[in-house]
Structure 1
Amino acid sequence: MRAAVVLLVLLAVAGCGGAVQVEPPAPQGAAATACAKLGPLLPQTLGGAQRTTSSPESPYVAVWGEGEIAVRCGVGRPVRMAPTDQLQEIDGVGWFADPDRSTLFTAITDVAYVETTIAAGHVAPEILARLSGAIGQVTSAKTG
């Protein structure tokens, strides 16, 4: 439900210009350390969209375009993810695709969960592949 609220906020501000409003997570300990390292490793251009600022600014959030792609590092475990769910592995990072929301993907790692929202019109596997490299650099990825 919380992810749905984040998406609605992103969609509400799309086209408004300026910073995109995204609720930042509040990771603790090793997750906070890994997430702080992730931000600078993320690309400036993703899916043809330029990286922009979020409001409030946070080292745990990255946004491209007018909110069509957003990354939140240090979120909670996906509510819809069952222990038996298979993850899609991309470059050593396991991704959970939310069965109820085709635009929501979460990287499942030993250190932190990294939530990614990708608007329609973008090729999700390409976006996830670009993000997996950076995520893999700062976390130890689980594959199952």
Structure 2
Amino acid sequence: MSFFRHRLLGLPVLAALITAASCSPSDDSATVTVPSPRPSVAELCRNLDRELPGKVDGLSREDPRPASALTAGWGSPAIILRCGVPRPVAMDDPEADGAEVNDVGWLLQKQGDGSFRFTTTLRLAYVEVTIPAGRTDHGVAPLVDLAPAVKKAIPKGIAD
């Protein structure tokens, strides 16, 4: 009798494993951490999401998981945009690298894996764009494509 009971107890576990395996995503879309800004910044980010282009650097929009109006992506490996991120500590460094692309200022941070992270400066929300190492050969071309949307949706100013 105890043998039968153990076999029955194992069935729900097996069923759960099969269900989890069948529900697991089979695509290779990126996953990101969704920022959690205060409500006024989140509203600016939702406005930005509506203005973002369908293509960046020739790559089609393929948003990362989990789905959020605060994140967007293009291509695979993806160029990732996150809106409403905290102010980067590197902005306190007077020696930090920066660039201005079509009237949008960006802090430039090269990452250890060869990717680049750009974060807007002098805007009421911080917008972060990460360009993976395999896509950095086009320089700031993605920022050229994103600048019109940022200018329209995120007003100039100093974010809190």
1:115 counterpart residue number: 128
* CA distance in structure 2 between the aligned counterparts of 1:99 and 1:48, rounded to whole angstroms: 22
For structure 2, the 5+ residue unaligned runs are: 1-25
Asked whether the 8 Å contact 2:97–2:108 carries over to 1, the reply is no
Corresponding position of 1:6: none
Q: Which residue identity does 1:141 align to in structure 2? A: K
Give the match for residue 52 of structure 1: 62
| Residue aligning to 1:5 | none
Task: Provide the rounded CA distance (Å) in 2 between the counterparts of 1:95 and 1:142.
Answer: 14
Say how many residue pairs are matched.
128
User: CA distance change for structure 1 residues 126 and 55 in 2, over 3 Å: closer, same or farther?
Assistant: same
Decide which structure has greater strand share. Answer: 1
**Residue from 25, 29, 35 that aligns with 2:39:** 29
Give the aligned CA root-mean-square deviation in angstroms: 2.2
Query: Could you tell me how far apart the structure 2 residues matched to 1:88 and 1:142 are?
Result: 17
Q: Which one has the largest radius of gyration? A: 2
- TM-score (norm. length: structure 1): 0.77
Bigger share in helix: 2
Is residue 145 of structure 2 the alignment partner of residue 135 of structure 1? no
Give the ranges of 4+ consecutive aligned residues of structure 1 lying more than 6 Å apart after TM superposition.
none
- What SS class does the counterpart of residue 31 from structure 1 fall into? helix
1:89 aligns with one of 77, 94, 100: 100
TM-score by length of 2: 0.70
1:84-139: per-residue Cα shift (whole Å, max 9, x none)? 34631112111000154551111123311000001233413111111111001012
- Helix, strand or coil: the match of 1:107? strand
1:105 correspondence with 2:105: no
Query: Share of identical aligned residues, percent?
Result: 31
| SS in structure 2 of the partner of residue 54 of structure 1 | coil
